[in-house]
Structure 1
Amino acid sequence: MTRRFRPGGLRARLLVAFVLVTVLGAAAAAWSSAGSASSALVTSTQQRITGTITGQIQAITPELTYPPIQSTLDRLRAAVGTNAVVTFQDLRSAEGTDLVTDELRTAVRTQNRLVTQRITVNGTPWLLVGTPIMITALDGVRTPSGIEVYSMHDLTDVEQQIDGLTRSAAVTAAWALPLALLLALVAAGSVLRPVRRLRDTARRLAAGDLDARSSPRGADELAELTVTINEMAESVQASMAAMQRMQADAKRFAADVSHELRTPLSTLTAVAEVLATTADRMEPDARESARLAITETHRLVRLVEDLMEVSRFDAGTAHLRIEDVHVANAVRDCLRARSWADRVELVAPDDIQLRLDRRRLDVIVANLVGNALRHGEPPVRVSVSASREQVSIEVTDHGPGLPEHVLAHVFDRFYKADSARTRTPGSGLGLAIARENARLHGGDLTAGNAPGGGARFVLRLPRTPQDPLVSVYQG
């Protein structure tokens, strides 16, 4: 599997951090080394020059006469070398470049010792050396003779060597970059490999593979995290297994109960029909009780029928009985059979035909329209439209609509938005059964609110049923 490099990912952050630390450390070390070497080079050069000048002056000093004359100053300048100036009060040696600064002269005269100064003239670095000539008396006392020697030395070669050291430091830092990147890749791989294993395990768990586990390696924090995730997966797996057992038991119980109730309900239905024919001849109290019994018996029959239908969906035994259906006529027949034709507005083209299960379409439309009539406000409208891929049936009303907290549960089994409506004729399974029937056709049923107010349910059915459990009905 190809791993994508994400700029904001943990791998990228580790690489960037490692490379930055390594490169900055290498650069700092290289620059520090270059700075130390440069400082040592300048100091060494300065010591060598001042040592040479001191030796030259000490060699010729015994031959000098005091006070000096012009020729004495010239001899001293010649002994020190070119680019030197020797002064005594108003006298000055002939020739020689004079770059001496007033600051250096003042320091030599006030401190009576050798003084150095580095300056740059027209881009050229110079080292200026100034020293007084001292007279030593017989008692060892040293006094200034008034003669001052100044020597100027070009430091271009030294600057070139320093530039070379700087370039070497830059090259060293540059070479550290690929090495740091390589080391970062190796380090990031060793750190992120267990993280990727945990990620893959988490993805498998999220996809439903509750047997997914990661093997802990080592004894670090990632190993502890792996153990924790494995324990969490085992706990979730045990909880899901228990939940599945309870769901299976509940579904089996509902199927068994609804099946066992069919025979006594048939008897009760027969009794209710007898009561219905004789209720008008009963006493008022007995007649009211008989009608209540008839109503509750019919409600119980519908509930058992809905439970049996739900159990067929759960068991996967529900199938379609496909036939060619004229959609507008099917919807119109559904409304007419329940005496809703004068209460519901139908907008449907007459040329839409679809291959579907007519009985299941009737169940869907009856549930949607009945729900709109019971809980919405008129006018209730059923609109049928079609495209090349699907047919849509939309049921809307002009009531208060569906609250946000109801939309998430409107298709849940036995869900009723108003707890005070526990004795309404509905079983709480109608919308759930309607959506199961829609999905059995390969379509779907969605709920929402119309832009102008009121609830809005949309049934979408494909042109061709997609469920494999299909039987073809020949009319």
Structure 2
Amino acid sequence: MMKKNDSNGSRSTWVTAANIGGIAALFASVLLLGSGWFVQRQALKDRNEEQAIYWNRYAANYYETQGGWQGLEERLSADVRDYPLHALNVLVFDVNGKRVAQGGAAVERSSDNRKPIVEDGAIIGYTQTAISRGASIPGAAWIGSIIAFITCYALWLLLIKRWRSESSRMMNRVQERIAGIVPSRSSGDIYPPISPVADPYEQFAATDNRLEHDLAHIDAYVRKLETVRRSMVADIAHELRTPLAIMRSQLENALIAETPLPLEKTAFMHDELLYLTKLVHDLQELALAEAGKLPLEKSWFSLREASEAVIEALQGEAEEETLSIQLDGPTDVMVYADRVRVRQLIVNLIGNAIQHARTEVVISVHQQEGSVTWSVKDDGFGIEKEQLAHLFERFYRSASHTNDNKRRGLGLGLSIVKQYAEAHGGTIEVNSVWGEGTTFRLQLPVITV
């Protein structure tokens, strides 16, 4: 369950990110408005200076040609009226500051410029120009600033969304890698993919909890692998020590006595050699299957006939245990698979059932659309629920109800079964009820390329 402080932390992070984006967008719009205002103000200043110089020269030329200011009022009014610049007001003053002429309409003097009129080095009057449009922010700047604010904020939110989506994909990839690293996780530990459209305030808190949970799984799994590695070395050494010691002792005695081995001792050594050969073969097959390099020689064959052949081979062992073996299912159940490895898979499962059954073993074969289901059921004591999740692990050996003098092996049989099934694109599952028995159910596709 998500912690409250994690949720508050995520909410605070997202609120901070949104505020930063809003402030940045607002700053960009204000900067644009300020830039527009500054450009407009500079343009008005330059234009006003230009008009002041122009009309100052205009008045100086008029005074020089006319010898005075008579008639300037009418002339100035007409020229200002015809001038392309609107909202312009021009005033002419004599040397004493008395207004002698005015052109244009009276405007609010938000910007004006007064200059002296110089004739032969002496001031003969003054001109003053005024432009009503001061350094106000133009409408285009307002529109531009609004567009800039919306654009910047939208891009920021899009960036956050993209970042969140990438983070979600990254977290999902991490989940997939962890699921591959830790194959023994239970179904309750498998999370659904992290959705990029989830509540942003809850998403990263859930992700953080999920990662902590998965890291704990990885840590436990690594510790378990180290334990398995040490146990594996000890188990292999133990399994190899006995047959090797027996063969060495028999051979040394024969060499010391300088006599050939009796036939029964030779047969016994041959059995031990077969066991060692099978042990090495199982280890090699398991390594190839787990690496995805197990070669498969596929052909069409009847799964029921393969099961009958295995039952016939194991019938003697079943009779020794006073067990009955039943086979149910149609005879025409065909699969396209590796006959040798599927047979080995069946041998391991039926042999395991014979070891744990009390009175009978029931095998069934059924064909469905596109797949075949093969199952074996025994009426043994069953398997504890805690052990079910570990049955297909390498070197795992559960408590056995068979005779103690029977060799139990390294616990590779069911691991090989699982790898062979997956190599054919199939699945293997187990169900067990304590005190009633166990059922292994194998599902294989009818044909795999």
Q: TM-score, normalised by structure 1?
A: 0.42
Q: TM-score, normalised by structure 2?
A: 0.44
Q: In terms of Rg, which structure is larger?
A: 1
* Higher RCO (C-alpha under 8 Å, 6+ residues apart): 2
